[in-house]
Amino acid sequence: MVLFVSDMHFGRTGAPDAEKAEEADLLRCLDAFDDELEHLYLVGDVFDAFIEYSRLVPKGFVRFQGRIASLTDRGIPVTYLLGNHDPWHADYFTEELGVDVVPDHCVATHYGHRVLCAHGDHLAGSAGGLTTRFRSLLRHPACVALYRTLLPANLGFGLAQWVSRQMHDRTPNPDLVQTLAERGHDLIKQDRADMVVMGHSHVPTLQQNEHGMYLNTGTWFADRTFVVLTEPAARLMQWNGRRAEIIESADFQNDMAEAGRST
């Protein structure tokens, strides 16, 4: 079983009780799938702001990080697709936690299906707002190095947190939801993947047609939603505090064949 989760935005509220509850829910969810888990994908915006310095990393969420290290120690791969709120990683997650950190997107084969996974901000176009327009600048190595060099760690991280919190929309952007779905289906039609998984929109989505399947993990922060992939099916799921419930499920062969006959 492969699990995809995104948009935890750890550190967003600054309220210790709420942050610990969110982290604890995620750990319980991972516990529920522990015997089946073969690969974990963190599909971006795991942290609301994360600036890693050469000898310092932001404090907090060590239980989550410990669980990630435990998975990789057991030989279970963890892939972290960087998002628009947490692109400033260096080597801590790779060297200390054994995580494969991917700055853009990745394509992997699971159960015979090519799965393209990305946070999605680089595909948002005009619907992505300022974060998309300034994405290249914010990720440029020279800009990141200058920021780390000129600002002390406390000031630099505090400023990044403040800016990150101002970037949040109170409600999901319908244009963004539609744009990401269209981009996902375009990638499938271009034969780059059989299945595309993204985050970023904060709206859980499952759409399939005769070509393949597009899924969006939604947001763990607000809704506790995620995606599970097994050999026969993909499932959009939600953690209710005690167990995982299926929101929507699609069988690869049968549902895509039916979609093909209906078009």
Is residue 20 pLDDT above 80, yes or no? yes
Say if residue 8's pLDDT is above 60.
yes
3-state helix, strand, coil in the chain (%, to 5): 40, 25, 35
Amino acid letter, residue 179: T
pLDDT at 257: 43
Angle among Cα 150, 154, 160 to the nearest 5 degrees reads 75
Contact between 119 and 45 under an 8 Å Cβ cutoff? The reply is yes
pTM of the model: 0.88
Contacts of 115 (CB under 8 A, 6+ apart): 2, 107, 108, 109, 193, 194, 195, 196, 197, 229
Q: What is the dihedral of CA 196, 201, 204, 208, to 10 degrees?
A: -30
Give tens-digit pLDDT for 153-207.
777 767 767 676 667 666 788 999 999 999 999 999 998 899 999 999 999 999 9
**Helix residue ranges per DSSP H, 86-228:** 92-95, 130-133, 135-139, 141-150, 153-166, 174-189, 220-223
* Model pLDDT for residues 37-58, shown as the tens digit of each residue: 999 999 999 998 888 888 888 8
Do the Cβ atoms of 94 and 100 come closer than 8 Å? Answer: yes
Report the pLDDT value the prediction gives residue 55, as an integer from 0 to 100: 81
Tokens of 10: 């750890």
Name the most confidently modeled range: 5-19, 116-130, 152-166, 238-252.
238-252
Domain extents in the chain: 2-262
Q: Is 137 in contact with 192 (CB distance < 8 Å)?
A: no
For 11-40, b where at least 16 C-beta lie within 10 A, e where not — what string? bbeeeeeebeebbebbeebbeebeeebebb
Contact 252, 27 (CB under 8 A): no
Write out the two tokens for 80.
């972290």
Cα distances from 260 to residues 14, 59, 140, 176, 188, in angstroms, run: 48, 50, 43, 26, 14
Q: What does CATH list as the number for 2-262?
A: 3.60.21.10
pLDDT single digits (tens) 59-101: 899 999 999 999 999 999 999 999 988 888 889 999 999 999 9
Q: Is the pLDDT of residue 263 over 80?
A: no
How far, in Å, are 82, 84, 140, 230, 236 from residue 217 at the CA level? Answer: 15, 16, 27, 15, 7
By the 8 A CB rule, do 144 and 156 touch? no
The more confidently predicted of residues 136 and 116 is 116
Position with higher pLDDT, 88 vs 258? 88
For residues 16 and 57, what is the distance between their CA atoms, to the nearest angstrom?
18
The proportion of the chain whose per-residue pLDDT surpasses 90, expressed as a percent, equals 63
